[in-house]
Every structure is written in structure tokens, then in C-alpha cells.
Amino acid sequence: MTDQTDLEQRAVNVIRGLAMDGPEAARSGHQGTAMALAPLAHVLWTRVMNYDASEPDWPDRDRFVLSAGHASILLYSMLHLTGFGLTVDDLRHFRQWGSLTPGHPEAGHTVGVEVTTGPLGQGVANGVGLGLAERVLRARFGPELVDHHTFVICGDGDLEEGISHEAASLAGHLGLGRLVYVYDDNHVSIDGPTELALSDDAVGRFEAYGWDVDDLGEAANDLDVLEAALERAKSITDKPSLIVLRSHIGYPSPKFTDNPKAHGNPFDAAEIRRTKEVMGLPPDEDFFVPADVLELYRAAGARGAVAREAWQGRFERWTGDREAWTAGWAGTGVEGWDAKLPHFEPGGELATRQASAKVLNALVDVVPGLIVGSADLTGNTGVLLDDGETQAPDTPGGRQIHYGIREHAMAGTMNGIAKHGGLLPVGGTFFVFSDYARPSVRLAALEQAHVIYSFTHDSVGVGEDGPTHQPVEHLASLRAMPGLRVIRPADANETAAAWKLAVEHQGPTALVLSRQNLPVLEGTDDHAAVAQGAYVLAETGGTDGADPDVILIGTGSEVSLCVDAAALLAADGTRVRVVSMPCWELFDEQTGRVQEDVLPSEVPTLAVEAGASFGWDRWADDTVSIDRFGASAPAKVVFEHLGLNPQNVAQRAQDLLADLSPDLA
């Protein structure tokens, strides 16, 4: 071996040592996969990827995704060694409270982590989003500013999860080049050999998707073969690439190589010592990184500064649309963009999904990062761009994405697009099918990905399609998710305000929109009031400034129902306040004074919503709600039978008053 090869082999072994020491210190974690993939990580970070550790957010860096996020110690080791700021102490505190090295990689928490992974298959879809964003931005702004690659490491578990099928099929259909996946084919899962449950032909499968596939066989420890395969895959620009790598989990442990137990944390101190002896590392020294190995990696981490500085020079000389570039990377609109938000005159009727479509098309030219798609429901969900070019290989800058019937991959891809930067993804499907997207929605909330969901057909108002298509528990379910804003606008003007909030918010927003027409109400065009999350829409039954006898809270289509019920109550002399509450999360952020001004604690309150009552006890004394599945019938008939009508709401308000304030009943 040459000196350089010897140094590189020692460097690989250092990674393997760290991969054992981190989980051992935590008494928790996954050592075996990280050990097996140490040569691959070495080649990626020292020979292949283009990055600058001193400027981890450089827009034209290569992106790396560890879809097999349980092997996080591998990524943390590389971020430490190449100079991203992680220290040896960070590795020592692997999986501990408050550390920068949590059990699975978290974007926004650890510098150098591009996307949050761990739930298997997610990184496969995220990588598609990262690659798609690169293609769109390269087409729009030119290769002198956007010219990079996306690398993804995935394993058997990733490819068994259904999201991998959806995402890989989409990537193949779109012909996404510059997208390089390495499949760690180690034949091991938690239960035992993968042959217990898996007999797929991965090569044939991905070739059928339209990918370029390179089966390397037994090359997991051959640095030159790995480099050649990765460089070849980088050169492919018309389809995604899959490199199949037969690795051996736990290598070179004498006891746990190819042992399913190596998926977890079986390495005790004695086995770590024996394995270090095999590799020529000091057997009794943990987190060992000799000076020459650290110098090798720090040089690799700094090497990209030359390319970054050259890019910065090109950017400074660039004469393209800087306003669009800046707005896109900020995830917002150009200066004054919100003046384009349409206003809707009270008295008309319009479904909020249709109002949303009008708002979206009004904004598409002034929010340059918008990229819009749906799961085969483009017109239905209000995400059809009037003049939108379809995203395809021959139209790489297209802003209209047809995700097909792939809700899970759509949401996972959107996360990748958002975390890439430069684009603001919007994705639509029926609200009931948010169930199919939910794992990716949850990760968007965890990593605060700036994405916008257009969830339409929001209630039993779907009508004849019946309970399979009528969401009931979904509002409560998504409201329970930390970090996700759920906005259910009452009418067209609240929809415009909701879009303003969604664009300005740097996290995920779910717009929950109606299928059926809703009246455009008086007083809903106050964007500042909507931004409170809840506000007083109307006071009826008295002009003396006295407190209301009862408050009706509505969301979405039920706000107009509350207005009609309030009129019935007012006719009987009851003072009624109608509150529109489009967003629980925003109202929860308000001061106690604001909350008390809108919902005085001493006034009986009835919430009205075409969904489950779960959670409403926080804001209301009682609810008119739906704690059962719906039924197949015209929407008006379903609403009537389920008690969502003005007469029943008025009666329930009277009953509440009788229970809580007998003297007012």
C-alpha cells in the first residue's frame, strides 16, 4: 500500500472506531451499519462531494441524505472530522438530553444535517425533493448558480417501506438526473436476515422505474471502486442512479460481522476492544482521532472553499433576476407581494378551495419560489396554475408538478424541496387522504419545513362520496401535532388571509378548505384579525355594549352557520357573539388579554364544527360536532341529519344557557 492508501485506511478505521464509541458511551444506538459504510462515507466526504464545511449553507453545495437515519453516528462522525463544528464532546454525548447528536439526524438542530430522517423511507422521498429543487432552480437561474448533486444512502428498510416505491417511481418518471442513491444491501434487519420477509430483485425493480442501476457487489471496502461508481453516477443527467452495494454489517468485528444483532447496540467493551485490535487502533482509547487523520479530513472539509468562492464571484457578476432569487431563498414574496392578495365582496358564494385557487394564481408571479402540485387532484384541490408549465424532463423549470396518486411521496418530496431552499412547495389532496401523507407532515412539523398543504373536501360536506371520503377526526388529529399550523378559513377573504400567513410562516401550514360553496361574510377581510387565530366577527341581539349572553365559535363552513343561528337567537332576545376561529395555534400564541377579549371566561361558549369534538373543551363549554363517521347523501342532507343546522345550533345554545345560566335561559 502507498502512504496515502495507508492513511485512508486508517481514516476509515477511525470512523469505525467512532461508530462504536458513540453508541457505547450512550449505551444506545446503532453501530453496525455505520461501521460497514465507513469506506463509503470516507469516499463521499474526501473524494466526491462538493461542500465547504466553513459555509454549510452555501446554496450550490452538494446535498447528502442519510435515509438510514439510525446510522446517525456515521453522519455525526463525518461532520466532526470534516470541520462542521461538532466536537468530540458532542460525540461523547450521543443521544443525550440537549446534545447536538440526537438518535436520528434532525435538520435545523445539527449543522450539516440537510433533512430530518429516521422513519425509514423518508430520506428516499426527501432526496427526490432535493434533486427536483436543484433541477427547477438550475433551469430558472442557470447552471452558473445552480449545479450540484444529491447523494442518498438508503438500506433494506428504506426500500421495504411503501414511500420508497412512490418516490422512486416519481423520480424515474420525471427523469431526475444528478440524483445518486447508494443502497446498502447488507441482508440484515432487526428480526434477522432480510430473507425472512424480502425477496425483491432491487436491480430489476429500479430499472423498471427508469433508474440507472449499478450493482457493485462485494465492493464495500474498495475505495477506488466506490469513487468510480459515484463519479459515473454523477455524470448521469437524464435519470436517477442507484448504486447497489453489498456490505457486511458490523465489519470487521470478529463476533458481529453479518450478525443481525449488529443492527442495534450489541458491542460491549470487550468486543469493541477486539475490533479495534483488528483495525490497528489503540484498543483502550475511545474517540481516537490521530492528528494526521484529522488533518486529512479537515483538508477535505476546507477544499470546497475554492469552488464556493468561485461561485460567489459568479453570483456577484450575475445579471439575472436578483429579486426573484432573494425572495425564493427567503421563502417569501417580492417587496409588496401581499398587495396582490385578492378581495372578495360580501354577499357572493365561493368554495374556499376555489378561493384558494384564485389567491394562488394571483401570487404565483410575486412569490417566485412557489412550486405547486397535487396527488392527481390538481383542479379539485385548487392548485392548478392558470399558465403553469408542467414539470417534466423537457420542461425542467416547470412549476406545476403532477405527483400522481402518491400522497406520501408528495409530502416527503415537498419536505426535500423546502429544505433545499429557493422554493416554496404547495401540495394538494383531499383532507381525508392527509392520512396517507401524515408521517411526512409530522416530519415537516419537526424540522419546520416551509411547506403549504391544500387539504380540501374538508368535512362531511363532501356528501355523496360517503364516510370513506368524509374527514371527521382529521382536524383534531392535525391540531394535536406540535409545530403545524392548521388554518380552516370561513370564507374567501379568510382564505386570502390564510395564504398570507402561510407564505410568511417559516414552518408548515395546513390549509383546510371546503368543497361546497360558502357565503362571503361581512367582516372577514381583516387580515390582522385573522392572524390572531380567532376574532369577534359579529355581535347580535343588543346595541347597549353589554356582554353577550352566549358565544358561538365556528371554523370553516360552520362560521356562516353560527351567523344564521345567532340571528335566530337574537330574534328571541339573546345577545350573541359570533367568533371565527380559523387557527387554534395562532390563537394559543396570543396574550391572555387578547384571548379574554375574544372569549370572556364568564360567558358560556358553544363551539360548532363539522368534525370531532376532541380538544374543544379547551375553548368551549360544549360543542355541536360529529363524533361518528358520516354518511353517503347530498351534503345538505348529511349536515341536517347530523345536527349542523341553524335551528339545532340555536337550541343547543339555549340548552347551554339553561345549564350554566338558568336566569338567562
Peptide bond into 489 cis (omega under 30): no
Q: How far is CA 324 from the centre of its chain?
A: 23
Rounded distance, CA 174 to CA 373, Å?
A: 14
Q: What is the DSSP letter of 46?
A: I
Contact indicator for 125, 437 with CB cutoff of 8 Å? no
DSSP notation for 270-330:
HHHHHHHHHHTS-TT-SS---HHHHHHHHHHHHHTHHHHHHHHHHHHH--S-HHHHHHHHH
Cβ-contact 484, 441 below 8 angstroms = yes
The kind and range of the H/E element at 203 are helix 202-209
Separation of first and last alpha carbons in the chain: 93
The residue from 166, 407, 447, 558 that is catalytic is 407
Which residues make Cβ contacts (< 8 Å) with residue 339, sequence separation at least 6? none
**Bridge partner residues of 189 (DSSP):** 192
Handedness of CA 218, 224, 227, 233 (dihedral sign): negative
Q: Is 447 a catalytic residue?
A: no
Cα dihedral 405→488→590→600 (10° resolution): -150
Of 449, 509, 485, whose CA–CA distance to 129 is shortest?
449
Spatial CA neighbour of 135 closest among 81, 197, 63: 63
- Alpha-carbon gap, residue 86 to 63, rounded angstroms: 18
**Contacts of range 621-628, beta carbons closer than 8 Å, 24 or more positions apart:** 621/656, 621/660, 622/652, 622/656, 624/648, 624/649, 624/652, 626/460, 626/472, 627/472, 628/472
The residue type of 94 is: F
Active site residues: 407
